Amino acid sequence: MDLVSVIIPYYKKKSSILYSVNSVLNQTYTNFEIIIIYDDEDKSDLDFICELKKKDNRISIIQNNKNFGAGKSRNIGIKNAKGDLIAFLDADDIWHKEKLKKQIKFMKLNNYDITHTSYKVINENRDPIKSRIARNFIHINDLLKSCDIGTSTVIIKKHLIDENIKFAHLVTKEDFVLWLKLLKNNYKIYALDEVLTFWTKSNSSLSSSTFQKIKDGFKVYYEYMNFNYIKSIYYLLCLSINFLLKNK
């Protein structure tokens, strides 16, 4: 069994991280390590996270010296990962118990380097809201107008991530940059259309800030994709419209 490194950034998710970590510990695929990146200058939750580490010797903790954000924290986790496969899980999301087993089998059978899965959107009470269906992304144009990949559903081979292809240092949309850069470098992202992750929609989360999403969305195209101003505005409008359509 290949070792899978599960990267979990932590910032003020004390009420939910136990469920997230347990959803990894309960996996039918058992050869994994969990790397929790403590990304909070406020150390009030640190003792709680250290107690969480005692649940299983496969859990390790990295403490950031300041709040870097989810993107940079994931990059730090990847650099410290021992596995050839990297899986991402946010501290308020949950995996189906066969997520790793089914997705890794899917990757091996098809010789895929990057995959994502369908997922169910849930509220903070873990009630289902809607489902997102995964699809293949072969060319960068397939993804440019809408970020349709759930970070907590992704498994990727570690060697694909380097100094040029990594999570962006943005408040939101940091994952969108990585998927676009992978596609830009001719890597393909394949879909397993099975709900194996439960993504939590939180009204208090950074991802719920419309202004921040617009600001970061523009940076995705203008700064990271090097599009000109007009082209960046065009794709930002497409991204915004598709976001509104998805969340009707």
Q: Which two structure tokens, joined as six digits, stand for 111?
A: 């010789």
Distance CA 77, CA 88 (A): 10
Domain boundaries, the chain: 4-246
Mean pLDDT of 192-213: 81
Residue type, 195: V
- Rounded Cα distance, 175 and 169, in Å: 10
Dist. CA 180–CA 143, nearest whole Å: 7
Residue 30 has pLDDT above 90, yes or no: yes
* Mean pLDDT confidence for 25-45: 96
Among 136-140, 163-167, 206-210, name the one with the lowest average pLDDT: 206-210
Within a 13 Å sphere around the CA of 173, how many CA atoms are in the beta-carbon half? 29
What average pLDDT is seen over the chain?
95
Report d(CA 72, CA 37) in Å as an integer.
Answer: 10
Dump pLDDT digits (tens) for 210-229. 888 899 999 999 999 999 99
Q: Return the higher-pLDDT residue of 127 and 103.
A: 103
Q: How confident is the model at residue 206 (pLDDT cuts 50, 70, 90)?
A: low
For residue 178, which of 191, 162, 199 has the smallest C-alpha distance?
Answer: 162
Can you read off the two tokens belonging to residue 103? 């997705």
Q: Express each pLDDT in 144-193 by its tens digit.
A: 999 999 999 999 999 999 999 999 999 999 999 999 999 999 999 999 99
pLDDT of residue 248 exceeding 80? no
What band does 203 get if pLDDT is binned at 50, 70 and 90?
Answer: low
User: CA dist 226 to 75, 172, 213, 219, 242, Å?
Assistant: 22, 18, 18, 9, 22
Residue 72 CB neighbour total at 10 angstroms: 20
Of the pLDDT bands very low, low, confident and very high (cuts 50, 70, 90), residue 85 is very high
On whether the CB atoms of residues 149 and 197 are closer than 8 A, the answer is no
CB 201 within 8 A of CB 182: no
Beta bridge partners of 61: 36
Model pLDDT, residue 201: 86
Task: Using alpha carbons, list the distances in angstroms from residue 54 to 50, 83, 122, 151, 227.
Answer: 7, 21, 28, 26, 47
pLDDT score of 204 more than 60 = no
Residue 242: its pLDDT value, please? 92
Give the whole-number percent of the chain exceeding pLDDT 90: 89
Kindly state the percentage of the chain with pLDDT values over 70.
97
Residue bearing tokens 């059978």: 109
Does domain 4-246 bear CATH number 1.10.150.120? no
Confidence of residue 209 (pLDDT cuts 50, 70, 90): confident
Who wins on pLDDT, 182 or 125?
A: 182
